[in-house]
Structure 1
Amino acid sequence: MNINFEYDDVKASNRLEIMAAEKLEKLLDKYDFIVRSDVFFKKENTSSPESGMVCNIRLSAPGPRLFAQSSSDSFEAAIASSIEDLKRQLERRKAKMQSH
């Protein structure tokens, strides 16, 4: 699987890339039909201290692309939340693929 990282108003971080890649590899182990992933890190100005660090993850797989976005007080929490959203979407996609 090919993983692309993009940063918007954020300094590139090896630590974030490694963390995201490890979580995505776990998804790939379970769902081998994933072809590619794009991970976007972005800082937003918000009035709430519990948000502002945004992580978007887009997965390419058979059918429409899967997408999850999460905003939290840290990129680590945002990555974890986005991965959880994608797990649910992948489970539904796998169920649909098996029923055909």
Structure 2
Amino acid sequence: MLTQIQFVKIPTSEALTYYTEKKLKKLTSKFEMIKAIDVYFKLEKDPKGEGKICEIECSIPGTKVFAATSQNYFEHAVKVAIAEIEKQLEKRKAVMMVY
């Protein structure tokens, strides 16, 4: 499985990279069908303070699963995005099991 973590127009953070990889490892151990995961971190000006964006694109056989979230902290954004990806993968796994 291939994992790419990119920081778009913001400085790279080793701590955030480690945290994200740790969370993704749990996800990939649960779903063996995952081929590749791309994670993008972005910063956006938001008056509410929720400008920390995490986008996750997960490649599985036949299609891709995508989730994006904007939160106060990148760590929370990762947690929410992975939860969304997990929901989508559960649905895909149920459909794939039928065939």
The alignment's TM-score, normalised by the length of structure 2, stands at 0.96
- Once residues 17 and 74 of structure 1 are traced to their aligned partners in structure 2, the CA distance between those partners, rounded to angstroms, is 14
> What's 1:37 paired with?
37
> What's 1:89 paired with?
88
1:1-100 counterparts in 2 under 5 A?
A: 1-49=1-49, 51-100=50-99
In the TM superposition, residue 17 of structure 1 has moved relative to its aligned partner by 0.9
| Structure 1 stretches of 4+ moved >3 Å | none
In the TM superposition, residue 7 of structure 1 has moved relative to its aligned partner by 1.1
In the TM superposition, residue 9 of structure 1 has moved relative to its aligned partner by 2.4
Q: What's the % identity of the aligned pairs?
A: 34
Q: Deviations over 1:18-49 (max 9, x none)?
A: 11111111111110010110000000011112
- Once residues 92 and 65 of structure 1 are traced to their aligned partners in structure 2, the CA distance between those partners, rounded to angstroms, is 13
What SS does the aligned partner of 1:45 have? Answer: coil
State the one-letter code of the partner of 1:75.
F
Q: Which runs of 5+ in 1 are unaligned?
A: none
CA RMSD of aligned residues (A): 0.7
Number of equivalences: 99
The alignment's TM-score, normalised by the length of structure 1, stands at 0.95
Q: Deviations over 1:30-81 (max 9, x none)?
A: 10010110000000011112x1000000001112100000100100000000
